Amino acid sequence: MPTTRDQKIQAEAKRLLQEGVVDVVIGFTKGTLPYKMQPCFIQHAEDVEQLELNGLCSNNLAVYLNHRPKDERTAIVVRGCESRAVQTLVLENRHARENLYLIGVPCIGILDLQKIQQHEQDPVLAIQEEGDQVHVTLKSGEKTFQRSEILHNACLHCNHPLPVNADMIIDEAGLFEERTFDKSYLESFRSLSLKERYQEFTKEAERCIRCYACREACPMCYCEECFVNHSRPQWVDSTIDPAGQQAWHIIRAFHQTGRCVSCGACERACPMNIKMTYLTDLLNQDMFKEYDFEPGLDPALMPPFLALGEDNEKFGVGPEGSHAG
């Protein structure tokens, strides 16, 4: 009888492959560095032992749906944010839901290496997770953290760690319960003055080296040709001048309005440690306030920018001809 989380995932993957339910299982396996996990694609039942899942799996696996053939029967190991990303992708016709099998895992959160490794001179050699505690071997010696101390910010702010609409759930209580909408850090950003907000934004954006790792890591960024790559006309400067950096950050975030699932994969991918989920979180918060919409929760509800309701009341324009600015 499989007992641990990894064993349960492996058993399910094995069953799916043996019974021919799916062609491939997407999950995580050990990476080349001792404290990194990497995505893997399992096509044969005898390989399922490679599958593992822990707090070091920092990618969002839903991103691979965009790179695989549309009609491939795929099983994915999904945590909360990944299940919501899959949901949104299905809604946007990127993949057919009937070709997908979601192995849901209640999320235990993703660890933030930045919080663990404080100094360049003191690299992380190994990380061992044990329930609520995380034992880290640094070059300078051993250290034990509480999991909550070193969780990635996106996970600290996450409202829905439980998978949505999964085909099966690995029944192990996650460390998280469903929570209320705690986005107080957004409120503190909103309460800054216009100038302070601008400074805060520029401070982050101006470090950008335009590598687009954030885009590649994001499941919702799947355009064949991104607006920053257009050369005729060139909408956005492609070099690292302030105009281009700001435009990239503003428009990238804006394209995620009502679509971003707040997984934080973009931030974890960024080589410059630039904060950017606050941008998409602000936009999503607006969508929640105005349209009562949260990405990926309802499999039938289109994002507000795709579903055009009659919101005349909201904007003060009535069909009778009264109008306001």
Partner 1 sequence: MIRKKPAIVLFQCQYCLASSMDQYWVETELPENVKLIKVSCSGRIDPLYILNAVQGGADGIMVCGCMPEKCHYKEGNLHARRTLSEFCNFLNLLGYSQDRFVFHWMNIDERGVIQSLLTEFEKNLEKLGAQPHLKTRTFSQEKA
Q: Which residues in the 251-270 window bind partner 1 by CB under 8 A?
A: 251, 253-254, 257
3-class DSSP assignment, residue 179: coil
Single out the residue of 111, 112, 136 nearest to residue 125, CA to CA: 136
Sign of CA dihedral 307, 309, 313, 318: positive
Answer for which of 171, 203, 235, 273 binds partner 1 (CB under 8 A) is 235
**Alpha carbon distances (Å) from 269 to 25, 36, 147, 325:** 23, 13, 21, 41
Nearer to partner 1, 10 or 245 (CB): 245
Q: Does 78 bind ligand SF4 (CB under 6 A)?
A: no
Answer for which of 1, 173, 194, 300 binds partner 1 (CB under 8 A) is 194
Q: Does 57 bind ligand SF4 (CB under 6 A)?
A: no
From 106-114, 163-171, 253-261, 314-322, span contacting ligand SF4 (CB under 6 A) = 253-261
Torsion of Cα atoms, 274 then 275 then 280 then 282, to 10°: -150
Q: Does 241 bind partner 1 (CB under 8 A)?
A: yes
Q: How far is the CB of 276 from ligand SF4 (least distance, A)?
A: 6
Residue 222's binding partner among partner 1, ligand SF4, none (Cβ under 5 to 8 angstroms by kind) is none
Cβ atoms of 249 and 242 within 8 Å: the answer is no
> What binding mask, one character per residue, do residues 145-184 give for partner 1 by CB under 8 A, x or -?
----------------------------------------
Answer for which of 10, 74, 246, 256 binds partner 1 (CB under 8 A) is 246
Question: By rule CB under 6 A, what count of residues binds ligand SF4?
Answer: 28
Q: How far is the CB of 199 from partner 1 (least distance, A)?
A: 8
Q: How far is the CB of 242 from partner 1 (least distance, A)?
A: 4
| CA of residue 82 relative to chain centroid, distance | 7
Structure-token pair, residue 10: 């492996």
Residue 93 region, left (φ>0) first, then alpha (ψ -120 to 50), else beta?
left
Order of strands, edge to edge, in the sheet holding 168-169?
37-42, 24-30, 74-78, 100-104, 168-169
| CA of residue 119 relative to chain centroid, distance | 26
Q: Does 197 bind partner 1 (CB under 8 A)?
A: yes
Structure-token pair, residue 206: 């101006």
| CA of residue 65 relative to chain centroid, distance | 14
DSSP track, 106-136: -----B-HHHH---TTS-EEEEEEETTEEEE
Q: Does 263 bind ligand SF4 (CB under 6 A)?
A: yes
Structure-token pair, residue 30: 């050990």
> What binding mask, one character per residue, do residues 210-249 give for ligand SF4 by CB under 6 A, x or -?
xxxxx--xxxx-----------------------------
Binding site for partner 1 (CB under 8 A): 189-190, 194-195, 197-199, 201, 227, 235-237, 241-243, 246-247, 250-251, 253-254, 257, 282-283, 286-287, 290, 304-305, 308, 310-312, 315, 317, 319, 321, 323, 325
* Residues forming the site for ligand SF4 (CB under 6 A): 60, 208-214, 217-220, 256, 260-266, 269-272, 274, 276-277, 280
